[in-house]
Amino acid sequence: MEQDPHEKRFQSIEKKLNLLVVIGITQAIVLTVLASCLLVNQFLPSTWTMILLLLLTVVFVYFFRKQIPGWLGTAGRFFFSQLFAAQKSDSAKENW
């Protein structure tokens, strides 16, 4: 049976959104690493500090691995709800 054309379009949109989310998360991770490297080099210029920071990050991710997706989901829902609320208020102003 052939899929509904709307279903194909929704799947395509969903794949694109998933890709954007992955890109966003990757950018956030890269920026966090760069910022931490900058701070570490600024205040504690040592290779051991970087190793300790990496080790602490791994331990944090290991212990909170089940909660992190929920935190990301909550943050994403908050961000998009604020974005859509701002768009609705802007569109309401245009109608006046």
C-alpha distances (whole Å) from 1 to each of 4, 39, 91 are: 9, 57, 41
pLDDT tens figures, 47-82: 777 788 889 999 998 998 888 888 888 888 888 888
Tell which residue, 42, 72, 37, 70, has the closest CA to residue 53.
37
CB within 8 Å of 42: residues ≥ 6 apart: none
Query: What is the per-residue pLDDT across 6-53, written as a single tens digit (0 to 9) for each?
Result: 888 888 899 999 999 999 999 999 999 888 888 877 776 577 777 888
N-terminal to C-terminal alpha carbon distance within the chain: 49
Task: Check residue 50 and give its pLDDT.
Answer: 75
Indicate whether this model's pTM tops 0.75.
Answer: no
Closest to 36 (Cα-Cα) out of 10, 16, 15, 55: 55
